[in-house]
Amino acid sequence: MKRNKISALLLGASLLAFSGAANALTIGFSQIGSESGWRTSETESIKAEAKKRGIDLKFSDAQQKQENQIKALRSFIAQGVDGILLAPVVETGWDQVLKEAKDAKIPVVLVDRGVSVADQSLYLTKVASDFVEEGRLAAAWLAARTNGKCRFVELQGTVGSSAAIDRKMGFGDVVNLFPGMVLARSQSGDFTRSGGKEVMESFLKAEGGGKNLCAVYAHNDDMALGAIQAIKEAGLKPGKDLTI
């Protein structure tokens, strides 16, 4: 929650640079959806910050679909908002709609995740974590805990999202330094608890009930919680039989 508050403050400061008074601002916010508890908290935090600053926040829930976000951005542009907050569900496919916002002189701030575009000037700034470093830190911790010998599975986030791409990349940067660390299986759980549970169940069935594994690397807490439920239902003890 603390990180959400800091993000909201930074976002507000960025957008206030384009207007003299906060109570005159109308901001469009295209959120990915509510796939996790963290995402819901982020939404609530930004809404609360907007209210505190007297900002008229136009909110749109994309329900994890890029086409819904593009539609929302075009609606914000048509309404002539002062700025747009975008939490992009995936990295690619944003060039055209961001160009439309730029042509309309509407600044766009990326929230939590990044985009891959040919022209970096299509958005004002990005407020996000270093997902690559997060992956590296997680892998370094696992390598130290297992002395560099572990057969593990990976629960990836939403396919094509910057968080999933970068966390996988960072984890791989470190794991590849240890020949004894082997990625047995990797599949997307879409950052959801139900997705994490479902994928983990399939991993356990394919890996001798989990006896062939030592750890699970999940790209977020909700998928990890789903995996823990699946592990318990399989008769194993999370943290003892399988490191999460």
- What domains can be seen in the chain, in order of their start residue? 2-127 (3.40.50.2300), 131-233 (3.40.50.2300)
Looking at the predicted structure, is the pLDDT value of residue 210 above 80?
yes
Is the model more confident about 211 or about 186? 186
Give the model confidence (pLDDT) of 48-102 as tens digits: 988 888 899 999 999 999 999 999 999 999 999 999 999 999 999 999 999 999 9
CA angle 200, 204, 208 (to 5 degrees): 170
Position 148 scores a pLDDT of 96
Give the model confidence (pLDDT) of 31-52 as tens digits: 998 888 888 988 998 899 888 8
For the chain, where are the E strands, in sequence order?
26-31, 56-61, 83-86, 108-111, 125-127, 150-156, 181-188, 215-218
Give the model confidence (pLDDT) of 108-147 as tens digits: 999 999 999 999 999 999 988 899 999 999 999 999 999 9
What is the torsional sign of CA 68, 73, 74, 79? positive
Position 2 scores a pLDDT of 44
Give the model confidence (pLDDT) of 151-201 as tens digits: 999 999 999 999 999 999 999 999 999 999 999 999 999 999 999 999 999
Average pLDDT, the chain: 91
Q: What is the pTM of this model?
A: 0.82
Where do runs of H (alpha helix) occur along 95-154? Answer: 95-103, 131-146
